[in-house]
Structure 1
Amino acid sequence: MAHTRPTLVFLHGFLESSEIWDDFLRDFPPHYRTLRPNLPGYGPEPPPAPDCSFEAAANYVQAQLRAEGMHEVLLVGHSMGGYVALAFAEKFPAQVAGLCLFHSSALPDLEEDRERRQRNREFLEQHGVAAFTKEFLKPQFSAAHRESMEHHLATLQRIGAAVPLETALGSMEAMAHRPDRRSVLEKATYPVLFIAGKDDKAVPLTKTHEESLLPDHCTVLWLANVGHLGFLERPTDTRKAIEGFAELVFGK
């Protein structure tokens, strides 16, 4: 049975799960339907994903939509979730009503990015996922929030520590070798929203600025004192931005 309420699909990032959206969506307008799947290999006590590619994840999301009777949706992808959203938009463009890249990018890794991921991979293999989260997560917050958001950091570390090592390594491999998907933005027949933190070390502002010029219809929300986790660092502003974007995409 098809659903008539406009639908937004929220896709989590690396070492995250659908739980990251719980507080963010608690007061989301009820006339929208929201779907927040755990990507393959993620979520409470998951088995490792047999295929951690973003193309496989896009197929998984499409199967979830089909099972729920959903067709045209607005995709919101945080970080790695944005890579999945772009893969989905490439494979199933007719199902995309709008695309929000939430601290994410269509650009592939540069050589220095791959070298960093290789160092991270070696750390993961030697020390495990729980130890890696303690090194990896705190720098994702803006320095303006690192001390005041220790409770959020603890939650993210708990979620990340539950991710199987094989999934973490597979996701890292997929990120290192993901293709250039700027063509998805260039061909987009739907509106695109970028949410960018001015203190985001993972997605530099120059990347977002370059990519924002590609779609026919694009909006960028630039946020000062925000790193890579705007849904925690500035939840009210980022939620309002997505609500406003949904109104643009679906109409009031």
Structure 2
Amino acid sequence: MTNHTTYSNAGSGDVLVFLHGFCESTEVWDAFTKPLQQKFRTIALDLPGFGNNTPSGSTDYSMEGMADYVKQQLDQLGVKKCILVGHSMGGYVGMAFAEKYGSLLSGLCLFHSSALPDTEEKKDNRNKTIEFVEKHGVEKFMESFIEPLFFSENRDRLRQEIALMKKIGTATPQESVTGGLAAMRDRPDRSAVLAAAEFPVLFIFGKDDGAVPLDKALEQCHLPDNSMVYFLGQTGHMGMFERTYETRKAIEKFAETIYG
């Protein structure tokens, strides 16, 4: 049985579901979603292995397995239709969800995320990271992993947010870190899912995001029949902290366009 602290559920009306990224938790959405709760019901889920959702026994870290988990949670929460907002790895899960349960989506937001698979170079990097984590542990990994997710010029003003991210990341079990890395490495190309999408897609990209480079962003944002695209300068991979107002407004407008 899922511990109730593995999700947040607030507000009422049409539903926005938020999926966090790798080594994150629902906490990254706490402040971000509050203003949206005046108009929408917002649900944020801890994905399997992350945040408070660290079940004992084996965990399916695959994007498809996580998408199934999201479906189960939404069923339990009585959600029939939603807009899914996926940050980074949460967007990969969103793409797997769209492929399996597309009829449940009113819209999808890829927030610093991608439908494209890892390049060979990125797969190689994931393997090296898995080795590093197995050898040196999660805490040591977090020392070098978190800061580069933020655009260099935003880091001083976002010390608290960086500290929060390190705290969440360091609390992540080692097997979730290595399992998540392997699952992201092995995820398939889902650009065909974007091309076939019968719902609108919102893309939010940081122009200085090392994880989703600009050329990869441009490769996919024209694929859906109906897409809105937001490029943010001086923004890395963490728009919910780096450009809170702008990214929240983009999601709000996207939702209003869909829900009326």
Work out whether the TM-score is over 0.5.
yes
Q: CA deviation at 1:4?
A: 8.0
Residue deviations 1:67-103, cap 9 Å, x none? 1111111000000000000000000010011000000
Query: Conserved in 2, the CA contact under 8 Å of 1:45 and 1:162?
Result: no
State how far apart, in whole Å, the 2-side matches of 1:39 and 1:6 are.
Answer: 22
Partner of 2:5: none
Identity %: 49
Partner of 1:100: 109
Partner of 2:39: 31
Query: Conserved in 1, the CA contact under 8 Å of 2:110 and 2:203?
Result: yes
Relative to 1, partners in 2 of residues 1:133 and 1:216: Cα closer, same or farther, differing over 3 Å?
same
SS of match in other structure, 1:168: helix
Which residue of 147, 150, 157 corresponds with 1:148?
A: 157
1:179 aligns with 2:188: yes
Residue deviations 1:117-175, cap 9 Å, x none? 11111110111111111111100100111222111111000000111111111100001
Query: Conserved in 1, the CA contact under 8 Å of 2:109 and 2:204?
Result: yes
Q: CA deviation at 1:46?
A: 2.3
State how far apart, in whole Å, the 2-side matches of 1:234 and 1:79 are.
Answer: 16
1:88 aligns with 2:135: no
- Any runs of at least 4 consecutive aligned residues in structure 1 with deviations exceeding 2 A, and if so which? 44-49
State how far apart, in whole Å, the 2-side matches of 1:224 and 1:133 are.
Answer: 25
State how far apart, in whole Å, the 2-side matches of 1:158 and 1:96 are.
Answer: 32
State how far apart, in whole Å, the 1-side matches of 2:94 and 2:75 are.
Answer: 16
State how far apart, in whole Å, the 2-side matches of 1:148 and 1:123 are.
Answer: 30
Query: Conserved in 1, the CA contact under 8 Å of 2:32 and 2:240?
Result: yes
Instruction: Count residues with an aligned counterpart.
Output: 249
State how far apart, in whole Å, the 2-side matches of 1:222 and 1:44 are.
Answer: 32
State how far apart, in whole Å, the 1-side matches of 2:117 and 2:50 are.
Answer: 23
Query: Conserved in 1, the CA contact under 8 Å of 2:12 and 2:39?
Result: no
State how far apart, in whole Å, the 1-side matches of 2:181 and 2:136 are.
Answer: 16
State how far apart, in whole Å, the 2-side matches of 1:151 and 1:4 are.
Answer: 30
SS of match in other structure, 1:24: helix
- TM-score, scaled to structure 1: 0.96
Query: Conserved in 2, the CA contact under 8 Å of 1:47 and 1:164?
Result: no
Within 5 Å, give how 1:1-252 maps onto structure 2: 5-44=13-52, 46-47=54-55, 50-251=59-260
State how far apart, in whole Å, the 2-side matches of 1:248 and 1:207 are.
Answer: 26
**What amino acid sits opposite 1:207 in the alignment?**
K
Query: Conserved in 2, the CA contact under 8 Å of 1:45 and 1:163?
Result: no
Partner of 2:6: none
SS of match in other structure, 1:23: helix
